[in-house]
Amino acid sequence: MTSTEKFITSIPKAELHVHIEGTLEPELLFKLAERNQIMLKYQSVEELRKAYNFHNLQSFLDIYYEGAGVLQTEADFYDLTWAYLEKARSQNVLHTEIFFDPQSHTSRGINFGTVVNGIKKALDEGRQKLDISSNLILCFLRHLSEEEAFKTLKQTIPYKDSIIGVGLDSSEKGHPPSKFKNVFEEAKKEGFLTVAHAGEEGPAEYVWEVLNLLDVSRIDHGNNSLTDEKLVTELVTRKIPLTVCPLSNLKLKVVTQMKDHPIKKMLEKGLIATVNSDDPAYFGGYVNENFLAVAQSLQLTKKDIYQLAKNSFDASFISSAEKQNFLYKLRKFEA
Ligand code: HPA
Ligand code: ZN
């Protein structure tokens, strides 16, 4: 292991952009299919992995929603979340903020409570047994209507204490953030924090919209912000963090090669960029593999890596007391 690899592996970090359904490894997918007596199109784990060959966001989403179909019971959501927490903790992720897509489950007849209770049970246990802290963020599917999002928000109310915020994911092109202005306003009134995917495949204009119309605290991806200097200045001035996902960007062809990844440029411009795995079971790596990929391709220094790790705690939704505790642990890694 090189000294950079060692540094990446051991530095404490937070993960702020991971879809729990995207942590479903093929082995667990097959196990759950068998447990729930679901017939799969694929004969083996190898055959399934071969299908993970994406050319854009939509080609990934089609397979991702199909995979999520094996999740049926509270135990399934628990097992899924537990496997992710163990993996994340083994990579020195001390805090994680997890997205889930309730509409991809309720649309199949699964109860909202089944999903949340299974995830929550694992998060509570993770806090006690793994010493990993966590928050849960619900995402509205943007290819569906705002009315559907309102219905989902209503279902959330009894579980308010377990969910810190709402976000927006799924197919970006053709589904501008403005479509969800009212439901985000309502979510804020209910006390939820807000984030949104923007500028992954969509234009800088969508990033302006999530800032001005959805009033988000963070932007998920945000790559295309760099095409608009005024927007970059706005993000820097308002200290709006970006949750960047390098291996996802490579696999979904948001960048053609890792050498072209904008994360170093983001740091140079003073943006609060963070490194995240998005859908690690589909994109070939958890958070440390994402750090390694950009460190190698962009010759990141230990100072850059430290900055990215520090940003991850600064950009998180933890209390300032908890933040101080994590930053204290980080201090000995300061380059
Ligand atoms: N973008 C949009 N929607 C998603 C993603 C993503 O990267 N991952 C899971 N849902
Ligand atoms: Zn995402």
- Residue-wise pLDDT for 111-148, tens only, equals 999 999 999 999 999 999 999 999 999 999 999 999 99
Question: How far apart are the C-alpha atoms of 278 and 303, rounded to whole Å?
Answer: 24
Kind and range of the H or E element at 190?
none
Say what the pLDDT of residue 176 is. Answer: 98
Indicate whether 314 pLDDT > 90.
yes
Given 15, 21, 25, 200, the catalytic residue: 200
Confidence grade of residue 236 (pLDDT, cut at 50, 70, 90): very high
Element (H, E) at 72: none
Ligand nearest to the Cα of 251, by number = 1
pLDDT score, position 170? 98
Domain membership of residue 326 (yes or no) is no
Q: How confident is the model at residue 1 (pLDDT cuts 50, 70, 90)?
A: confident
Residue 86, domain member (yes or no): yes
Task: Give the pLDDT confidence score for residue 331 in this predicted structure.
Answer: 95
Element (H, E) at 197: strand 193-198
- Give the residue whose CA is nearest to atom 7 of ligand 1: 278
pLDDT above 80 (res 335): no
Query: For the segment 48-62, what is each residue's pLDDT rounded down to a tens digit?
Result: 999 999 999 999 999
Q: Which of 170, 242, 245 to mutate to test the pocket of ligand 1 (most atoms within 8 A of CB)?
A: 170
pLDDT-derived band at 91 (thresholds 50, 70, 90) equals: very high
CATH number at residue 158: 3.20.20.140
Rounded (10°) CA dihedral 150, 317, 294, 269: 100
Q: Is residue 331 in some structural domain? A: no
The verdict on residue 213 lying in a domain is yes
pLDDT above 80 (res 235): yes
Residue 240 has what pLDDT? Answer: 98
How many domains does the chain contain in total? Answer: 1
Residues with a CB atom less than 6 Å from ligand 1: 19, 22, 57, 64, 169-170, 197, 200, 248, 278-279
Specify the pTM: 0.98
Q: Which atom of ligand 1 is nearest to the CA of 64?
A: 9
Residue 333, domain member (yes or no): no
Grade residue 42 by pLDDT with cuts at 50, 70 and 90.
very high
Q: Is 200 designated active site?
A: yes
Total Cβ atoms within 10 A of residue 125: 15
Q: Which of 23, 200, 206, 290 to mutate to test the pocket of ligand 1 (most atoms within 8 A of CB)?
A: 200
Question: Tokens for 202?
Answer: 């969509």
Q: What is the mean pLDDT of the chain?
A: 98
Asked if residue 323 is part of any domain, the answer here is: no
Asked whether the beta carbons of 187 and 214 are under 8 A apart, the reply is no
Instruction: Identify the band that residue 249 occupies on the pLDDT scale cut at 50, 70 and 90.
Output: very high
Nearest alpha carbon, ligand 1 atom 10: 170
Cα–Cα dist 196/174, whole Å: 15
- Tokens 């047994």 correspond to 129
Domain, as residue range, for 223 = 3-316
- Closest ligand 1 atom to residue 19 Cα is 9
Across the range 301-330, mean pLDDT stands at: 97
Region 228-256 average pLDDT: 98
Share of the chain above pLDDT 90, in %: 99
170-219: pLDDT as tens digits: 999 999 999 999 999 999 999 999 999 999 999 999 999 999 999 999 99
The answer to whether position 60 is within a domain reads yes
* 172 CA: nearest ligand 1 atom: 2
CA 211 to chain centre: 18
pLDDT band at 298 (very low <50, low <70, confident <90, very high): very high
| Spatial separation of the C-alpha atoms in residues 8 and 198, rounded to whole Å | 27
**Which residue type is seen at 74?**
E
Q: Please tell me what DSSP assigns to residue 273.
A: E
Query: Does residue 321 fall inside a structural domain?
Result: no
